[in-house]
Amino acid sequence: MDPEFDIALDEDAVVPWTVVRTSHALSRVFTAELARVGLKPHLFGILATLSRNPGMSSAELARQVRVTPQSMGALLRGLVADGLVTHPAPRRGQPLSVSLTPAGGELLGRAWPIIAAMNEPAALGLTPAEATQLNALLHRVLTATG
């Protein structure tokens, strides 16, 4: 076996472990930064997804942000109660469409500058080319494992 790829020699050579550790580190920063505008990461994901896809079904929204439909139901009830999304009453046989309210759009608008700053390559310790490559590679991993 090629020693460069002998993962028994070094846990830092285990790509999934590196991704998990990186995810935890970024998650801490992402959570703290979004808290400045009163958002949690999963709620940012819901609002951002709805901003691109208004009127999508709650089931599709759950798939997009990678939560169970049951979890999405609870999240949406909170977002409706906070006035951030609309989620009309269910009608038999009809998918439930979800859309941002003006308040949801305004909150998301306050989050974007924070997200933009965190997404700067230098904030990630990368060059612009490296950040583009990393994002592309992570999307490939997400597709392969998701």
Using a 10 angstrom Cβ sphere, with 0-12 exposed, 13-18 middle and 19 or more buried, the burial of residue 48 is: middle
pTM: 0.83
The angle that helices 102-118 and 41-52 make with each other, rounded to 10 degrees, is 110
Per-residue pLDDT of the chain (146 residues; tens, 9 = 90+): 565 566 567 888 899 999 999 999 999 999 999 999 999 999 999 999 999 999 999 999 999 999 999 999 999 999 999 999 998 766 777 767 899 999 999 999 999 999 999 999 999 999 999 999 999 999 999 999 97
Print the domain residue range for 74. 17-88+95-145
In a domain? residue 41: yes
Tally the domains of the chain.
1
In a domain? residue 134: yes
